[in-house]
Structure 1
Amino acid sequence: MLEPSNLNNFANIIETERGDMKFAYVQNDEIDYLELFDHFLAEEGHHELLDPSDRIERYTYLINHNQSKFIFKIDGGVENRLERRLIAKITGDFYFNLIHKLAKISQDKCDIAYELYLVAFDKKTKRHYMIFNFIEGRSLTRDEMKLHGEQVKNCIEKLHHYNLVSNDVHGGNFILTPDGKIKAIDLTNSGFIWLTKANDAIELQERFNIKIKVPAMAMAIKKFTHGFKRLSRKIRGKKV
């Protein structure tokens, strides 16, 4: 199988527009990601659908192209919550920020997450499209998260260094590769990252007894809001 990451120039992300579509993609002299995008759209629905989401308009497909595997993701979800829309206005487009942050990780040869090769946004339908690399391996069980605790900790701390967070730390959001490496998937880079890092710290501590350092103020705020949510759910008779 060809390794497209060896051909990518992560230092050069090309941004362009075509009709209603806005693109950002990594330069690659042998793989034209715009052409791959067009090829997929022409055959949408004829690829293997992975992990169908319970969220409307969110789909993930596996693509085989020239002896390489890619993940093609469609996210048509529109954020209706006012506070999230306001934060997005301040911080910018989630996926267009993400491709730049993941490119920096790849440039630094910090092998802790997936690679993102193309992001597209349809201004008319409000759909986002992404092309990722396919990571061989499987997700971790709860016990394996504890067993590989040092690697998980190292992975999260490095993500935080690049201002990326998991914001939902569980085995399904990490891949254990055949050679024993752990890589994070389904990352977050929107919102107030300094605050969201505390979510990772709290979840790591409570679920897997893994401790990481985050700003004290962020931890204090998040612990208060977590406690308030638990109390609210308890009062309403819901599972805590």
Structure 2
Amino acid sequence: MNNFAKIIEMQRGDIKFAYVQNDEINYLGLFDQFLAEEGHHEILDPSDKIERYTYLINHNNTKFIFKIDGGVEHRLERKIIAKITGDFYFNLIYKLAKMSLDKCDVAYELYLVAFDQKTKRHYMIFNFIEGRSLKWEEMKTYGNQIKNCVEKLHSYNLVSNDIHGGNFILTPDGKIKAIDLTNSGFIWLTKANDAIELRDRFNIKIKVPFLAMAFKEFAHGFKRLSRKLRGKED
């Protein structure tokens, strides 16, 4: 059984780890096993981004998602923000662990994060959520659940920052869970992105800080004006 109260951090060679202590599953061993068999697992949702892969793995009749993110951030402002806020995935495992401890079941669980300091690759092991992604028209149908889901994520300083049906899973028992979350950057501002997308695309209203909304509304308006002046479509 998972003990989200205890996350172990360790360094092994060039790789830094943070993983959830588990009485039944050795996530460090699962990581080693995957690397030894890399290329022999089912790949899910191939990304058009270089060095970003998501695999489905099966361990003792339990499904897991194994993700590799080899993307290196080249934008200076993102590098500065990362220095201030810390490693995205290592922050994420602690926030999702806190949600699990609180029995806030609106997102996935993250069991292991590893960063190879030599190759600059991140590795993650998530739980596999049974179900299917929502269709665009279903976003309004499940509007109350989505509103509740996003508001709970925000209470843990987690955001989607990309609101669409593909980032919400409808489970067989009718629950909505969010996937592909972010916790990097200035979260109080990014929450406003979620609020604007929910409002403008699906007429779902959530509360976020007034100043964040005002800043993002101005930024979005300026961007639209800039694109219009350059003759580009929205």
Q: Please, what TM-score do these two structures have when normalized by structure 2?
A: 0.99
Q: Deviations over 1:150-209 (max 9, x none)?
A: 000000000000000000110010000010000000001000001110000000000000
- 1:101 and 2:95 matched: yes
Residue in 1 that maps onto 2:77: 83
Aligned residue among 50, 64, 70 for 2:64: 70
SS in 2 for 1:26: strand
- 1:220 and 2:233 matched: no
Aligned residue among 121, 126, 147 for 2:120: 126
Runs of 4+ in structure 1 over 4 Å off? none
Cα distance in 2, alignment partners of residues 235 and 43 from structure 1: 52
Identity level (%): 83
Following TM superposition, by how much is the alpha carbon of 1:236 offset from its aligned partner in structure 2, in angstroms?
2.2
Residue in 1 that maps onto 2:24: 30
Residue in 2 that maps onto 1:136: 130
Following TM superposition, by how much is the alpha carbon of 1:232 offset from its aligned partner in structure 2, in angstroms?
1.6
Cα distance in 1, alignment partners of residues 171 and 15 from structure 2: 35
Q: Deviations over 1:86-117 (max 9, x none)?
A: 00000000000000000000001111000000
Following TM superposition, by how much is the alpha carbon of 1:239 offset from its aligned partner in structure 2, in angstroms?
2.3
Aligned residue among 43, 47, 52 for 1:49: 43
How many residue pairs match? The answer is: 234
Q: Deviations over 1:112-140 (max 9, x none)?
A: 00000000000001000000000000100
SS in 1 for 2:231: coil
SS in 1 for 2:30: helix
- 1:209 and 2:203 matched: yes
Cα distance in 1, alignment partners of residues 156 and 163 from structure 2: 17
- 1:191 and 2:188 matched: no
Residue in 2 that maps onto 1:20: 14
Residue in 1 that maps onto 2:231: 237
Cα distance in 2, alignment partners of residues 51 and 236 from structure 1: 34
Contiguous gaps of at least 5 residues in structure 2? none
SS in 2 for 1:142: coil
SS in 1 for 2:233: coil
SS in 2 for 1:120: strand
Q: Deviations over 1:60-109 (max 9, x none)?
A: 00001101000000000000110000000000000000000000000011
Q: Please, what TM-score do these two structures have when normalized by structure 1?
A: 0.97
